[in-house]
Structure 1
């Protein structure tokens, strides 16, 4: 599975980093960083991150 964040929509709120800290993180400048490729074990937490994103900037797609 692959994660994509629409950088035009993302406002770096960081809710995804709270919901899925193994995939999303905020760097020292407060900008979102994330792992594009995720494992099957991470899908549920990424789906939670998608749900809590206030601007709905996160997409999950199969390879």
Structure 2
């Protein structure tokens, strides 16, 4: 996951800092500091923070390796495929 915040649009409402404090932090009244590539464990908090931004200043970009459904180890096996590989 990668985060981009439009700092020209951000008005310092701090909803993001409230919902994902390990990723977003408000310094002073308007200076937002954030982690552009947060840990995977912060995914849900970051998505909630982006959705809660009153001016929609937060863009969250998913990378395929960040989504659980795109990781090969997390994909369910096809029924009846136990013990078989795709190579003959």
Provide the TM-score with structure 2 as the length reference: 0.65
Measured in 2, the distance between the counterparts of 1:5 and 1:28 equals: 17
- The 5 Å alignment of 1:1-63 reads 1-63=1-63
Q: Which runs of 5+ in 1 are unaligned?
A: none
**Structure number with higher relative contact order (C-alpha < 8 Å, ≥ 6 residues apart):** 1
Count of matched residue positions in the alignment of Structure 1 and Structure 2: 63
Q: How much is the aligned-residue C-alpha RMSD, in angstroms? A: 1.3
What residue ranges of structure 2 are gaps of 5+ in the alignment? Answer: 64-88
Q: Is the 2:16–2:50 Cα contact (8 Å) retained in structure 1? A: yes
Report runs of 4+ in structure 1 exceeding 2 Å deviation: none
CA contact (8 A) 2:20 2:49 kept: yes
The secondary structure found in structure 1 opposite 2:46 is helix
| More strand, by proportion | 1
